[in-house]
Structure 1
C-alpha cells in the first residue's frame, strides 16, 4: 500500500479544485492511503471531510512548531508527495521529511530549488487554464495517464441533508425558490441584489428569496442590508449554517445567484443551477466546473452587470 501526501492550498475553492486530482491519484493507486495537508484557519476542512478518496487530514495550525509538523509527517513514512500549493515553503516539507518521490511544478520562485523535487515540470500559465486542470496536470504527468475526472468530489452526510430539508419544508410551496449569496471578493453592488429581488417578486409572485452568508462582520453586514431591504419577500439564513448546511440549502433551491467565491464551486459540486457573476476574475480560470446547470455572466467590471441582465438569465434558466 502506497502512502501519499497531498500538500494542498488553503482556501475553500482552491481546495475543492484539487479534488479531481486527488480522485485521479486514487484511480491510479486504488489501494493507496492518502493524507491531505492544509491549514485549518481558512475554513476548508469541511470540503475534505467525508471525501472517500482521502483517508486522513493534517490540519496545520499556527500553534504547531515546524519541528512538531515535520515529526508528524515524517513518522508516517510517505512514499509519494504531490505539492499542489504554489509557494516555496511548502515545497520544502516533503524534502525535509525525506519522502522518496516528490512531485511539483517549477516556477520562478522554485527555479533555484528544483532539487526539492524528484519529478517536476514547468508550471503552466495559470491565467490560461482552469485551476482544476492546473492541479490535475501534475498528477497526470506523474502517472503518465489521463483519467477523465469531470466533477468535484464533495459529500454531504445524510443527517445534514435531512436536517436542512426539514428547515426548508416551510418554503416548499414557493416557486421559484431563489438563493442569493451576496458576499464576494469582487462584490456585486448591494442595490443590485435588492433591485433583482424586486424584479423576481414582480414577475414570480409566489417566489421566495433565501439569503445566505457567514457571521464574518463585513459579509454579515452586506447580507443583512440586502435582507432588510427585501424582508417581505426573503428569508435570511445568514450566519445560521455551517459549510455543509449552506450547500444543502443551495440544493433545496431552484436557483442560486452568486459571485466568484468558494460556495459557488461547492454549489457546482452538487449540481445546483447557478448564475455566476464574474467581473475582475476570469471565468476561464475560476468559472463553474462540472455543472451543466451553470451559467456565467461576465463583464470587465462586476458593477457593469445589470439586475435586468441577471433577471433575464433567471427567466431563461427557469423555463
Structure 2
C-alpha cells in the first residue's frame, strides 16, 4: 500500500520551548509500534531543523522501524500544513505544530505537562489534551527541577485509548 491508502498518524515529539514539554521519546516509539501493529497505520514524524530535534526524531523513527517516515526538518511551513491535513490525527507535545494541525482541521491528541492547557491547548472542537494532575504542574518551566512526573506519568496505553476513541468516532 502507498501512503495515500494507509491511516496516517502524525507525531511531533519535540518542543522548541524546552525538554520539560516533551513526552519521553521511548513512549513515542512504543505508541508508534502499537499503532502500526493494531491499525496498519503509517506514522509521519514532524519536527524542526535543529540538530537536537532532528537527532531525537531520527532515534524515534529508527525505534519505530518500518511504517514510519521521518520528515523532521524536511518540510516548508506550507508543506507541513498540507501533510498535517492528510493525517487522521496528530499526537504532539504542546507546540506550534499542534496549533497548525488544529488550524487545518486535523484532530489533535496533545500531551501536556508543564504548560497550562487553559492558555495554550489546541483551538477548536474534538481535540484532546492528555495530562496528569500533579501538584507542580503547570510550572511553565523549560527544564524540570523535579522528576518530570507530569510527563512520565502519562502512559502509552492512556494515549492509545484516546486515539482508539477518536478512530471509532471518525470513520475513514
Q: 1:272·1:293 contact (CA, 8 Å) conserved in 2?
A: no
Q: 1:271·1:293 contact (CA, 8 Å) conserved in 2?
A: no
**Which runs of no fewer than 5 residues in structure 1 stay unpaired?**
1-168
**Which runs of no fewer than 5 residues in structure 2 stay unpaired?**
135-149
Higher relative contact order (CA 8 A, sep 6+): 2
1:196-211 alignment to 2 at 5 Å? Answer: 196-204=31-39, 206-211=40-45
Residue 4 of structure 2 corresponds to residue 172 of structure 1 = yes
Q: Deviation at 1:266?
A: 1.3
- Find the counterpart in structure 1 of residue 51 from structure 2: 217
1:107-126 alignment to 2 at 5 Å? Answer: none
- Find the counterpart in structure 2 of residue 296 from structure 1: 129
Match for residue 309 of structure 1 among 141, 144, 158: 158
TM-score, normalization by structure 2 = 0.82
Aligned residues: 148
SS of the residue aligned with 1:271? coil
What is the root-mean-square deviation of aligned Cα atoms in Å?
A: 1.4
- Find the counterpart in structure 1 of residue 68 from structure 2: 234
SS of the residue aligned with 1:229? helix
Paired with 2:70 and 2:2, the residues of 1 have a C-alpha distance of: 13
Displaced runs of 4 or more, over 4 A: none
1:132-281 alignment to 2 at 5 Å? Answer: 170-174=2-6, 176-184=7-15, 185=18, 186-204=21-39, 206-281=40-115
Q: Deviation at 1:280?
A: 0.6
TM-score, normalization by structure 1 = 0.45
Paired with 2:126 and 2:101, the residues of 1 have a C-alpha distance of: 10
Paired with 1:188 and 1:198, the residues of 2 have a C-alpha distance of: 16
